[in-house]
Structure 1
Amino acid sequence: MNSVPISATRPSTGIRVAQVVGLTASAYLAGALGGFSAVAGPALLKAPAPLLAKQWLTVFDNGKVTAPPLSVLCSAIFGYLAYREPTASSNFALYTAAAIVVPSMIPYTIFFMGGVNSKLQEKASSLANASLTDTEVESGVAQDETVHQLVDKWLTLNFTRSLLPLVGTLAAGWAIADKFEVLGLGAVLKTGADRMG
């Protein structure tokens, strides 16, 4: 009789909740950051400079209160899973990598995006009273210092930043998937002619 064992180890409910919340939060973070750069950003670039600066500032202000705490939550969850589920050294390494790489978006933001963020905040402040539809407001500004060029650069840096929680999600997902093992505890799938009885 040809059979394939299909049972798998089952983590505790607490571990399962941590796995689901950690994966969901890190995947959401990666998708929100990357999606903004890939989908919303190009549409925003069609706006006049004063409107674009205002829109960018709204995104920036919303992001700085949601993304860092979410990345720290992911790090804590993945660190917890590394501590609670060290069944294999590879799983421990994967969870630990996820716990480190997801919140590394915070120093990335500070060191790689800080200059562009500061310039865009200044632009948003200086253009706050300009007409939102004024297309000539930056006519004398150097090409690489316009709101459009700065936002375009920010979108590229932001997309790169989104790869950090994506890598963390993939590492943790691999650790979770690797945890399941075929044990052969009696449950079987019949194959071939034997499946008919």
Structure 2
Amino acid sequence: MAASPFGYRLAHAIGLSGAAWLSGNIAALSLISVPALAETQRETSAPQGLIVKLWRKVYDKGKAQNPPVAAATATAFLYLAWSVRAGGPLFRHSQYSLTGLYTTAAILTLSIVPYTIVTMRPTNNALIRLAQTPEDLTSAGVKESSTLLNRWVFLNGIRSLLPLVGGMLGVTAALL
């Protein structure tokens, strides 16, 4: 890769590290942050309403942070796809379509946004509604919030796989 133009190498660095970081950032919410909130509630008997409010803070930080990273990462992958397209400046014959691999990497990475909107919105909205409750939750609200948080952990865990697979496709294309 040392003979490749600087912009191409920079796009690799941004695309590959961005996809890995994004996947890890999203996965950490499902593997560490939200389970730690639930564990804290069980160990300290903290009100479930507080746990849901804390989830909302975590959610808001991820909502502000992750889409721009996904956009920058996808842009880097799309630049790579453009660079290696047939007739492009870095085209070389390969058994596999490098353009297709980079384009798919971009689509998978950016797909965290529609996945969130289509798949996670009902769970997110229900948790946000519970987080806006001014006092502690009723017993029905406690049960509902616990179920919703478990569902959110699962759905978000799946969401973390999208940029991971995108990054793996980017690595594959870079190595071919």
Give TM-score scaled by structure 1 length.
Answer: 0.77
Aligned AA (2:120): M
Task: Note the C-alpha offset of 1:141.
Answer: 3.9
Instruction: Report the Cα distance in structure 2 between the residues aligned to 1:174 and 1:90, rounded to whole angstroms.
Output: 11
Residue aligning to 2:122: 115
What SS does the corresponding residue of 2:110 show, helix, strand or coil? coil
Residue aligning to 2:109: 102
Residue aligning to 2:61: 62
Question: Is the 2:34–2:153 Cα contact (8 Å) retained in structure 1?
Answer: yes
Question: Is the 2:130–2:141 Cα contact (8 Å) retained in structure 1?
Answer: no
Instruction: Report the Cα distance in structure 1 between the residues aligned to 2:17 and 2:141, rounded to whole angstroms.
Output: 43
Task: Note the C-alpha offset of 1:44.
Answer: 1.1
Instruction: Report the Cα distance in structure 2 between the residues aligned to 1:99 and 1:12, rounded to whole angstroms.
Output: 20
What SS does the corresponding residue of 2:132 show, helix, strand or coil? helix
What SS does the corresponding residue of 2:22 show, helix, strand or coil? helix
What SS does the corresponding residue of 1:113 show, helix, strand or coil? helix
Instruction: Report the Cα distance in structure 1 between the residues aligned to 2:118 and 2:165, rounded to whole angstroms.
Output: 20
Task: Note the C-alpha offset of 1:9.
Answer: 6.5
What SS does the corresponding residue of 1:123 show, helix, strand or coil? helix
Q: Deviations over 1:157-177 (max 9, x none)?
A: 000000100010000011111
Residue aligning to 1:29: 22
1:80 aligns with 2:79: yes
Task: Note the C-alpha offset of 1:26.
Answer: 1.0
Instruction: Report the Cα distance in structure 2 between the residues aligned to 1:140 and 1:114, rounded to whole angstroms.
Output: 21
Give TM-score scaled by structure 2 length.
Answer: 0.85
Question: Is the 2:48–2:142 Cα contact (8 Å) retained in structure 1?
Answer: no
Residue aligning to 1:49: 48
In structure 1, runs of 5+ residues without a counterpart are 1-7, 131-136, 179-197
1:139 aligns with 2:146: no
In structure 2, runs of 5+ residues without a counterpart are 42-46, 86-90
Q: Deviations over 1:30-63 (max 9, x none)?
A: 0011122112222111223122111110111111
Aligned AA (2:23): A
With over 3 angstroms needed to count, the CA separation of the structure-2 counterparts of 1:31 and 1:69, relative to structure 1, is: same
Aligned AA (1:163): L
Task: Note the C-alpha offset of 1:90.
Answer: 2.0
Question: Is the 1:75–1:102 Cα contact (8 Å) retained in structure 2?
Answer: yes
Percent pairwise identity: 35
Question: Is the 1:91–1:175 Cα contact (8 Å) retained in structure 2?
Answer: yes
Instruction: Report the Cα distance in structure 2 between the residues aligned to 1:165 and 1:10, rounded to whole angstroms.
Output: 28
Relative contact order, higher structure (CA 8 A, sep 6+): 1
Instruction: Report the Cα distance in structure 1 between the residues aligned to 2:60 and 2:19, rounded to whole angstroms.
Output: 20
Residue aligning to 1:191: none
Instruction: Report the Cα distance in structure 2 between the residues aligned to 1:59 and 1:152, rounded to whole angstroms.
Output: 15
Q: Deviations over 1:52-76 (max 9, x none)?
A: 1111101111111111111111111
Aligned AA (1:171): L
Residue aligning to 1:20: 13
Where in structure 1 do 4 or more consecutive aligned residues deviate above 3 Å? 140-143
